[in-house]
């Protein structure tokens, strides 16, 4: 009994000691987690987004090089799907219009990918450690999906309108999109946002590319 008490006391002492001696390290860690996960201040401007999150520019450029999907298409998809909220989830159904129940789907994260399609992405790309709450993995998923849509449905990768319809409806149900008024409205908004992001990027792309060797 005394040994157990001594062990617990020792563990408590070590935890308190670690906290006291590593306050700075903990503060820095929490700062970076907060900085990386918070929503950019201005999500309607691509230059402002990358000014806040320069690493995101590097990630989207890599996706463009790997999958051939323009940066502005990636941003427009993320904007529509999650509003750049890394923890975004669909709303819950409500029983009797009051009691929170199950969510409408398993969508989660920046790309709002559902579990089944996300697992397919990880299997086909070999990116086994990918997580939907990570921007780098989310835009790579979008790149993979758009590229696959191009192969399956022959839709150009820079066609934001039809590519988003396929993203929203799924490859199998894309042919029925004309019956889905909500999908059409969403796709038009994505197209408009993509065009806006594209024009904005022409104003800051040169400066962004100059900073390509910056780590943070």
State residue 13's pLDDT score: 40
For residues 140 and 191, membership in a common domain is answered with yes
Report helix angle 71-82 to 160-169, nearest 10: 40
State residue 12's pLDDT score: 44
Q: Which pTM was predicted?
A: 0.79
State residue 4's pLDDT score: 43
State residue 90's pLDDT score: 65
Q: Is residue 200 part of a domain?
A: yes
For residues 83 and 187, membership in a common domain is answered with yes
Nearest to 109, CA basis, from 127, 143, 129, 83:
83
Q: Is residue 84 part of a domain?
A: yes
CA distances from 93 to 28, 82, 106, 112 (A): 39, 18, 13, 17
Under 8 Å between Cβ of 84 and 193: no
**Whole-angstrom Cα distance, residue 204 to residue 39?**
20
State residue 102's pLDDT score: 47
- Residue ranges making up the domain that contains 29: 1-37
State residue 123's pLDDT score: 98
Q: What is the count of structural domains for the chain? A: 2
State residue 105's pLDDT score: 72
pLDDT < 50 regions, the chain = 1-19, 25-35, 93, 95-96, 98, 100-103, 215-216
Measured in residues, the chain has a length of 216
For residues 28 and 47, membership in a common domain is answered with no
Q: Is residue 215 part of a domain?
A: no
For residues 88 and 17, membership in a common domain is answered with no
Residue 101, φ and ψ in degrees, nearest 5: -125, -150
Tens digits of residue pLDDT in 72-117 = 999 999 999 999 999 988 655 454 454 543 446 789 999 999 999 9
Q: Is residue 216 part of a domain?
A: no
94 SS3 class: strand
Residue 195, φ and ψ in degrees, nearest 5: -65, -40
For residues 67 and 19, membership in a common domain is answered with no
Q: Is residue 124 part of a domain?
A: yes
């Amino acid at each position: 009994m005394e040994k157990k008490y001594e062990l617990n006391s020792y563990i408590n002492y070590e935890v308190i000691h670690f906290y006291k001696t590593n306050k700075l390290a903990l503060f820095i860690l929490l700062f970076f987690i907060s900085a990386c996960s918070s929503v950019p201040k201005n999500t309607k401007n691509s230059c402002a987004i990358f000014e806040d999150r320069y690493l995101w520019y590097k990630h989207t450029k890599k996706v463009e090089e790997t999958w051939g999907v323009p940066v502005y298409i990636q941003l427009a998809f993320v904007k529509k799907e999650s509003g750049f909220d890394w923890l975004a989830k669909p709303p819950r159904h409500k029983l009797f219009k009051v009691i929170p129940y199950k969510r409408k789907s398993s969508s989660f994260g920046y790309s709002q990918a559902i579990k089944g399609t996300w697992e397919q992405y990880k299997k086909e790309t070999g990116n086994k450690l990918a997580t939907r709450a990570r921007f780098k993995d989310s835009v790579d998923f979008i790149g993979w999906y758009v590229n696959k849509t191009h192969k399956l449905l022959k839709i150009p990768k820079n066609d934001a309108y039809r590519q988003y319809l396929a993203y929203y409806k799924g490859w199998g149900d894309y042919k029925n999109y004309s019956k889905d008024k909500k999908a059409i409205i969403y796709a038009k908004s994505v197209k408009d946002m993509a065009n806006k992001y594209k024009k904005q990027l022409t104003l800051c792309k040169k400066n962004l590319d100059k900073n390509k060797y910056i780590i943070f």
